[in-house]
Chains A and B, each alone.
Chain A
Amino acid sequence: MAATVVTADGPTRKRRSVRPGAMTRGSTLGLGIGMVWFSLLVLIPLGAVVVEASGGGLDTYRSIFTNSQTFNALKLTVGVSLLTTALNMVMGTIIAWVLVRDRFRGKAILDLVIDIPFAMPTIVAGLVLLALYGSQGPLGTEFENTRKAVFLAIAFVTLPFVVRTVQPVLEEMETDVEDAAASLGATRATTFRRIVLPTLVPAIFAGAALSFARGISEYGSLVLLSGNLPNQTEVTSFRVASILEGGNRPAAAALATVMLVVALIAIVALDVTQRRLARRG
């Protein structure tokens, strides 16, 4: 009888499960070479940053918070990154929605435009924004050397992240589910709030993590735009660069370590979200 039914699924889109094989001699060699390169390029240098920072002891870290210029830079960077991330969570989701569910001429171009901030050199991104929003631009806005410019530049470079994490999830989502909610009496708003949004939330946060990490670490696009004014528009990566130029390597490394930790948290958050998404299947 029906209660005994425990057979496998129907043809739901199932990923073919690949059972990874044991290591062979060739693959071990390959992994060895790959790991050596990865270590030389990424792991050891990043480790060196942490080691260098610890050379100055806890005081170096404390100086980040006691040095008002550094602390202001950190505050500005985190603040602006949070703000742009919030903006991206809303706008990115809306953009992804329009790209997946709406149909109009020129949508393909829109799809391409999303990737421009990712592919464009950051220094050029700064120049590009200056061309429109600078004092010589056609809008008459004078954003250069203001915090508005910092916000704008970070909003520009982080634009694609939420869009591109939400988009595939939205594409995968069957419209059947929304139809089901509608036939059960839910209005469009209720369906969005109770059915669509909860499905998208992990992807939105994954995108937000990437966006936040990128915002915290931004450098190139701000070079021409922010004016790099201490305590006003100076962001953390500039602070690292200028401390380094001043010759205080441990202090620069300590601030870099703080940034690294934030990056690591973002990556871990991303990894966890991916696994949660995969499990829900």
Chain B
Amino acid sequence: MASASAAVGNRSVALTWFLRVLVVGYLVMIVALPTGLVAQNTFKDGLGGLRTALSDPDVVHSLLLTVRVAVMAVAINLVFGVGMSLLLVRYEFPGKRALSALIDLPLAVSPIVVGLALVLVYNPRYGFFGQPLSDRGIDIVFATPGIVMATCFVALPLIVREIVPVLEEMGDDQEQAARSLGANSRQTFLRVTLPGIRWAIVYGVVLSLARSLGEFGAVKIVAGKSIGDKETATLLVQREYQNFHQDVAYSVSFLLVVAAVLCLVVVAILRPSTSHHATPKVKQ
């Protein structure tokens, strides 16, 4: 009968309440209240602000572009993430540990550095790859593919980080059992491995989606100065805010916040235990 609380005779009610109030207060002041204010500012004039914003073709275009870029980036990261996770957990190869650490690198790299890095290599004028590609009429940087790549870069580790612990926890005995029952690798993967990691994949995809919809810095650099029709929603928020169209900025921000919170809610509901969270954590 181990009860959840440690040493009952030893608890201080005052301390418990102090910590509780401190934490709730801090989170309300830093996160909850500011986030709530965006909603309030958006609906200051009822639905009018949102309606005006959505009737602006630039806004609609930027939202559609954002969704398109995010979907493409997530699809690419999904294939890469599932494949890499399987390789990292189930196979042995030289440099594995280094690769495993390097995959986490994008989490720590400044979005500006990401943008700079991609521009250096894929720039149509002097980029090592950009120049030859440009000669063949393919533009990466200052075009949609560059925006997709920048988004891929920043969200790269998220799916891997979700799947790897689950694969490790699962062990490979189910897969061996499937093999012993005559399944080939494809059947084993589709019928045993994939169902085992499907929730991890769902979380990873949802989180990547949230991250991809919201990327700003890297996209800003890669999209270049003459943005034109390459303006994503986050870039539009900046431009509209600085041009004193605060209502439009707030409306688009509100939509982005809703998307982000929705992603988090989906993950929170789907997740069976409380021990996993959206934020990257130490792999145990």
Chains A and B share a contact (CB less than 8 Å) = yes
Option from A120, A167, A253 in Cβ contact (under 8 Å) with B260: A120
Option from B19, B111, B169, B278 in Cβ contact (under 8 Å) with A220: B111
B180 at the interface (CB under 8 A from A): no
Option from B152, B211, B237 in Cβ contact (under 8 Å) with A119: B211
- Interface centre among B24, B129, B235, by most A CB within 10 Å? B24
A89 at the interface (CB under 8 A from B): no
Option from B9, B217, B264 in Cβ contact (under 8 Å) with A115: B264
Q: From residue A220, how far is it (CB to closest CB) to chain B in Å?
A: 4
Contact A45 B121 (CB under 8 A): yes
- Interface centre among B106, B171, B217, B250, by most A CB within 10 Å? B217
Q: In the bound complex, how far is the Cα of B119 from the Cα of A164, in angstroms?
A: 33
Smallest Cβ-Cβ distance to A33: which chain B residue: B83
Contact A277 B284 (CB under 8 A): yes
Q: Given that A18-B90, A124-B256 are contacting pairs, would A112 and B104 also be in contact in the complex, using a CB cutoff of 8 Å? A: no
Q: In the bound complex, how far is the Cα of B281 from the Cα of A53, in angstroms?
A: 32
Option from B9, B24, B120, B214 in Cβ contact (under 8 Å) with A124: B214
Q: Which residues of B contact A97 (CB under 8 A)?
A: 19
Q: From residue A31, how far is it (CB to closest CB) to chain B in Å?
A: 5
Q: Given that A94-B23, A214-B108 are contacting pairs, would A206 and B153 also be in contact in the complex, using a CB cutoff of 8 Å? A: no
Q: Which of A149-205 contact B (CB under 8 A)?
A: 152, 155-156, 159-161, 163-165, 167-169, 171-172, 175-176, 178-179, 182, 187-188, 191, 202-203
Q: In the bound complex, how far is the Cα of B241 from the Cα of A131, in angstroms?
A: 12
Q: Which of A21-63 contact B (CB under 8 A)?
A: 21-24, 26-27, 30-31, 33-35, 37-38, 40-46, 48-49, 52
Q: Given that A108-B268, A119-B260 are contacting pairs, would A267 and B34 also be in contact in the complex, using a CB cutoff of 8 Å? A: no
Option from B7, B89, B275 in Cβ contact (under 8 Å) with A171: B275
Contact A249 B120 (CB under 8 A): yes
**Interface positions of B (Cβ within 8 A of A):** 2, 4-7, 9-12, 15-16, 19-20, 22-24, 26-27, 30-35, 37-38, 41, 80, 83-84, 86-87, 89-93, 97, 99-114, 116-122, 128-129, 149, 152-153, 156, 168-169, 171-173, 185, 207, 210-211, 213-217, 221, 225, 233-235, 237-238, 241-242, 249-250, 253, 256-257, 260-261, 263-265, 268, 274-284
Contact B110 A128 (CB under 8 A): no
A216 at the interface (CB under 8 A from B): yes
**Interface positions of A (Cβ within 8 A of B):** 15-16, 18-24, 26-27, 30-31, 33-35, 37-38, 40-46, 48-49, 52, 91, 94-95, 97-99, 101-104, 108, 110-124, 127-129, 131-133, 137-138, 152, 155-156, 159-161, 163-165, 167-169, 171-172, 175-176, 178-179, 182, 187-188, 191, 202-203, 206-207, 210, 213-214, 216-220, 223-224, 236-238, 240-241, 244-245, 249, 252-253, 256, 259-260, 263-264, 266-268, 270-271, 273-274, 277-278
- Interface centre among B207, B210, B284, by most A CB within 10 Å? B284
Option from A18, A91, A138, A167 in Cβ contact (under 8 Å) with B277: A167
Contact A120 B280 (CB under 8 A): no
- Interface centre among A34, A121, A223, A268, by most B CB within 10 Å? A121
Smallest Cβ-Cβ distance to B267: which chain A residue: A115
Q: Given that A241-B221, A267-B105 are contacting pairs, would A256 and B172 also be in contact in the complex, using a CB cutoff of 8 Å? A: no
Smallest Cβ-Cβ distance to A28: which chain B residue: B93
Main secondary structure of the interface of B (DSSP, over half): helix
Contact B214 A119 (CB under 8 A): yes
Q: Which residues of A contact B211 (CB under 8 A)?
A: 119
Contact A159 B210 (CB under 8 A): no
Contact A110 B35 (CB under 8 A): no
Q: In the bound complex, how far is the Cα of B93 from the Cα of A102, in angstroms?
A: 44
Smallest Cβ-Cβ distance to A95: which chain B residue: B23
- Identify 14 residue pairs between A and B in the complex whose beta-carbon atoms are under 8 Å apart, listed by A's number: A20-B91, A21-B92, A45-B117, A95-B23, A98-B23, A117-B31, A119-B207, A119-B260, A120-B35, A121-B214, A152-B30, A182-B10, A237-B111, A270-B282
Contact A112 B241 (CB under 8 A): no
Q: Which residues of A contact B279 (CB under 8 A)?
A: 114-115, 118, 160-161, 163-164
Contact A164 B216 (CB under 8 A): no
Contact A15 B214 (CB under 8 A): no
Contact A131 B34 (CB under 8 A): yes
Contact B214 A168 (CB under 8 A): no
Supplied contacts A168-B281, A237-B110, 20 more A-B pairs, CB within 8 Å: A18-B168, A27-B87, A33-B83, A42-B106, A49-B116, A91-B26, A110-B27, A114-B31, A116-B31, A123-B253, A124-B237, A127-B241, A132-B34, A169-B284, A178-B6, A207-B282, A213-B108, A245-B225, A264-B108, A278-B283
Q: In the bound complex, how far is the Cα of B119 from the Cα of A266, in angstroms?
A: 25
Smallest Cβ-Cβ distance to B66: which chain A residue: A121
Q: Which residues of A contact B91 (CB under 8 A)?
A: 20-23, 27, 31
Contact A124 B23 (CB under 8 A): no
Contact A18 B87 (CB under 8 A): no
Q: Which residues of A contact B15 (CB under 8 A)?
A: 188
